[in-house]
Chains A and B, each alone.
Chain A
């Protein structure tokens, strides 16, 4: 039985899709059969970040509507074995998703895959609710600033009450905090919330801290998940986070400002 992971945040632009792409790739690199689904119907982006936008024939909505079968719509990643992408539809809107349809697709995927990563759209409307509804685990992507933290808090409340696990009283969704775009230098200047501030407000387990890095933008623009670039600090931070998710103990890096860290930024 596959484990379903939702990557969510409430707020837009905090790095959900980047995280979904990196995380799914990391899980596949670790030898797990992994599928990543873009729930952002109408604002399809995951295919770009994964670099498979020219290979999209059928999409998630086609599968839900029975216009294509799952194997026709799934795109196998060319770089990483065991990884498949189910793109969103660009021409439809989020109302095209139905709970029954999403459940059917997830159940079918669960037969063949170990992990299903659901890339949630921003907001708390239908698309986001459906992306989270069937989840076993949630990765809450948060930027170190107050509005993002508050939106994440709201999402955590929804995860605790409006998901299948909550409705069936089937144990809680395991919640993980992933702090992205973190800059120790700006925290020091008081321009950003610190890791401890965010942990204190959200009081959930910290999965990882992804430093603010040019390599993330470069990776997105070139359609290569940033985790494949282990020379970049963001790539190694994602690799750490995946390892922690899979049960490995790793110390948190990139939390404090170091000379080495600054050199790495300017060296890149």
Chain B
């Protein structure tokens, strides 16, 4: 319908070219050891597989020394990232040699930001604004909620096949029957609180636990989940009161 309309008015502009500021995730390459990089990246992906589907990413080589850059196999990096459903959209902070090779494999070059602006950005980053997210409706199968930079507070149920992610804590005042991943950007202090535990998966800062390995006695109860010595601890909330009512 629209296509037909456009045909009849060919003089109408078909596109606009505009500059936009937008948030983009950056992959800072710190070592030239690609195999090791992907080992660590795969572990990260495992914590939130759906989050990284067709995930645009900017490659940053600023912290990789010039001589390490020279032997860096950027074609391999590009290909392996795409294999994992990342979309490398460009690179920055690379020396002339690497920039030249990158252009060859079809990665655009973004000029490094001037020093002053970058300093400012860094000082802002150290004082993150807590952006908590409040969800009143049930989180349904197939839906994904991501509370970026803060807590996710769900007043209803998280259904099987639904996913809640937060950089901070996750609070669920209904039943948790889907997945809950707190501290997805590595905050090991993040916790998950839920009123009725029956999850498909729970994870904090990449340490995850599947439904099968959850202590049966915790199922259907009110709990908090946190990390202690790199393992997930599920602890009852007001356990005594619950046991007497059950």
Contact = CB atoms under 8 A, between A and B. Distances in A.
Interface of A: 98, 100-101, 150-151, 153-154, 156-158, 160-161, 200-203
Contacts of B159: 150, 153, 201
Interface string B136-174: 011111110000000000001101111000000000001
Contacts of B1: 98, 100-101
B138 A203 contact: yes
Given A153-B141, A202-B138, 15 more contacts: A150-B141, A153-B138, A153-B159, A153-B160, A153-B161, A154-B140, A154-B161, A157-B141, A157-B142, A157-B143, A157-B162, A158-B142, A160-B137, A160-B140, A201-B177
Interface of B: 1-2, 137-143, 156-157, 159-162, 174-175, 177
A202 B139 CA distance: 10
Contacts of A151: 141
B156 A203 contact: yes
User: Is the contact region of chain A dominated by helix, strand, or loop, or is it mixed?
Assistant: helix
Contacts of A98: 1
A139 to B, nearest CB: 17
A150 B138 CA distance: 13
A144 to B, nearest CB: 16
A158 B141 CA distance: 10
Closest 10 CB pairs of A and B: A157-B140, A153-B141, A154-B141, A154-B142, A157-B143, A100-B1, A153-B159, A153-B140, A98-B1, A156-B140
Contacts of A154: 140-142, 161
A153 B142 CA distance: 8
A101 B2 CA distance: 11
B143 to A, nearest CB: 5
